[in-house]
């Protein structure tokens, strides 16, 4: 079975400035996205995430490299018929209403009138914008635009959905809604490729991730393989004790009123702290063991570079 998306040795450089100077953006990207998974594409700003996606879509032409979508060359119409794309900070034709907008994109896929109408009303329901169907897009809020953008990406019932920063600029509720839709897409058997730098969200929904820094993929694999389950440290918040009594037990952090935040790296020291609190009649407010998160991994990798 062909991979949903396969990229081999992708290179791209731009000539920028008044006196053109060559800048290499992508330096040999290779990755493979399997059918039915949610693939996270992580990287700091300017790492080349959007450039990669634009290469896949044929918006920019790579200097070198091969890309395939379900075994088809990435620019063939057959391949494009199977993909949906939501750009970063989507701007759409603001003079169109939501319905007209989806109708226009439906026409580009040569959908039949009845099929198109059914799809549009289904999508408007999915993204919760049935009531705004006849509202011009210029009156839409940021979150609504993101949702209508997602709807246009799904108008052709794509097998592969490419989402560029789908959670950027949204409030927590908006992020949850988009996340839920992405999970639902996976349940429907679609493959999702999403780029982001909001790591918590990626961690929550992605099966596999690739981390790109400076145009190179430096880590790639299943999330559980990349992130170890080892406890890194324990955060203890306590009160009723003096600062000097805690010396040597952990990294002392901050005080809010009476409360002290302590970062403890060795497990045996936790017991000591608990005993100390008991004898001094202090109080433990919280005790949270922190395992490695994607953020730790990401920050570690990016700092190394």
Q: How many residues bind another protein (CB under 8 A)?
A: 33
Contacting range for another protein; rule: CB under 8 A; set: 100-108, 181-189, 224-232, 280-288 = 100-108
- Label residue 15 left, alpha or beta by phi (over 0 means left) and psi (-120 to 50 means alpha): beta
Applying CB under 8 A, which part among 41-49, 87-95, 174-182, 215-223 lies near another protein? Answer: 87-95
Q: Does the protein bind another protein through residue 69 (CB under 8 A)?
A: no
If one asks whether residue 80 binds another protein (CB under 8 A), the answer comes out as yes
Site string for another protein, 19-58 (x = CB under 8 A): -----------------------------------x--xx
Measured CA to CA in angstroms, residue 119 lies from 11, 112, 142, 241, 263 at distances of 38, 10, 23, 63, 53
Instruction: Kindly state whether residue 93 participates in binding another protein, applying the rule CB under 8 A.
Output: yes
The region of 124-132, 147-155, 191-199, 287-295 touching another protein under the rule CB under 8 A is 147-155
Q: Which of 52, 132, 152, 234 binds another protein (CB under 8 A)?
A: 152
- Residue 13 Cβ vs another protein, minimum distance, rounded to whole Å: 11
Cα 269 from Cα 185, distance rounded (Å)? 46
Residue with tokens 């199977």: 82
Nearer to another protein, 40 or 87 (CB): 87
Write each residue from 158 to 177 as x if it is in contact with another protein (CB under 8 A), else as -, in one continuous string.
Answer: ----x---------------
Interface residue with another protein, options 110, 114, 244, 248 (CB under 8 A)? 110
Q: With binding defined as CB under 8 A, does residue 13 bind another protein?
A: no
Q: Structure tokens of 282?
A: 């202090």
Task: Return the exposure string of 224-252: e unless at least 16 CB atoms fall within 10 Å of the residue's CB, then b.
Answer: eebbeeeeebbbbbbeebeeeebeebbee
For position 104 contacting another protein by CB under 8 A, the verdict is: yes
Whole-number minimum distance, CB 95 to another protein, in Å? 4
DSSP tag of 60: S
Phi, psi for 202 (deg, rounded to 5): -60, -45
76/90 Cα distance (integer angstroms): 24
CB of 38 closer than 8 Å to CB of 205 = yes
Residue 108 near another protein by CB under 8 A = yes
Instruction: For residues 32 and 18, give the distance between their C-alpha atoms in angstroms, rounded to a whole number.
Output: 37
Among 85, 140, 193, 298, binds another protein (CB under 8 A): 85
User: CA 72 from chain center: how many Å?
Assistant: 26
Residue number with CB closer to another protein (89 or 275)? 89
* CB 111 to another protein: min, Å: 11
Query: Of 39 and 101, which has the nearer Cβ to another protein?
Result: 101
Of 107 and 200, which has the nearer Cβ to another protein? Answer: 107
**Residue 160 and residue 79: Cα distance in Å, rounded?**
10
> What are the residue ranges of helices labelled H in 62-171?
77-80, 98-108, 113-126, 142-153
Distance CA 179, CA 292 (A): 22
Per-residue tokens: 296: 């730790």
Q: Which is nearer to another protein, 156 or 191 (CB)?
A: 156
Which residues here bind another protein, judged by CB under 8 A? 14, 54, 57-61, 77, 80-81, 83, 85-87, 89-93, 95-96, 100, 104-105, 107-110, 149, 152-153, 156, 162
């Amino acid at each position: 079975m062909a991979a949903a998306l396969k990229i081999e040795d992708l290179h791209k450089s731009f000539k920028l400035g008044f006196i053109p100077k060559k800048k290499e953006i992508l330096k040999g990207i290779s990755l493979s996205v399997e059918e039915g998974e949610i693939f996270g594409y992580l990287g700091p700003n300017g790492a080349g995430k959007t450039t990669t996606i634009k290469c896949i879509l044929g918006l920019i032409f790579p200097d070198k490299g091969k890309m395939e979508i379900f075994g088809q060359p990435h620019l063939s119409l057959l391949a494009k018929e199977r993909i949906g794309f939501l750009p970063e900070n989507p701007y759409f034709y603001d003079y169109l209403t939501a319905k007209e907008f989806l109708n226009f994109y439906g026409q580009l896929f040569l959908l039949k009138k009845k099929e198109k109408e059914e799809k549009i009303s289904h999508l408007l329901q999915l993204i919760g914008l049935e009531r705004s169907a006849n509202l011009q897009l210029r009156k839409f809020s940021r979150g609504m635009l993101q949702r209508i953008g997602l709807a246009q990406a799904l108008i052709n019932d794509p097998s592969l959905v490419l989402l560029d920063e789908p959670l950027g600029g949204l409030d927590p509720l908006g992020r949850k809604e988009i996340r839920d839709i992405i999970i639902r897409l996976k349940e429907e058997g679609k493959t999702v490729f999403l780029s982001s730098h909001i790591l918590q969200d990626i961690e929550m929904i992605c099966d596999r991730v690739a981390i790109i820094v400076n145009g190179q993929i430096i880590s790639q694999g299943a999330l559980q393989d990349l992130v170890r389950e080892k406890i890194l440290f324990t955060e203890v918040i306590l009160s009723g004790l003096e600062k000097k009594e805690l010396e040597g037990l952990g990294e002392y952090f901050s005080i809010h009123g009476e409360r002290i935040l302590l970062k403890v790296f060795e497990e045996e020291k936790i017991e000591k702290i608990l005993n100390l609190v008991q004898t001094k009649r202090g109080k433990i407010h919280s005790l949270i063991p922190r395992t490695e998160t994607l953020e730790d991994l990401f920050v570690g990798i990016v700092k190394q570079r």
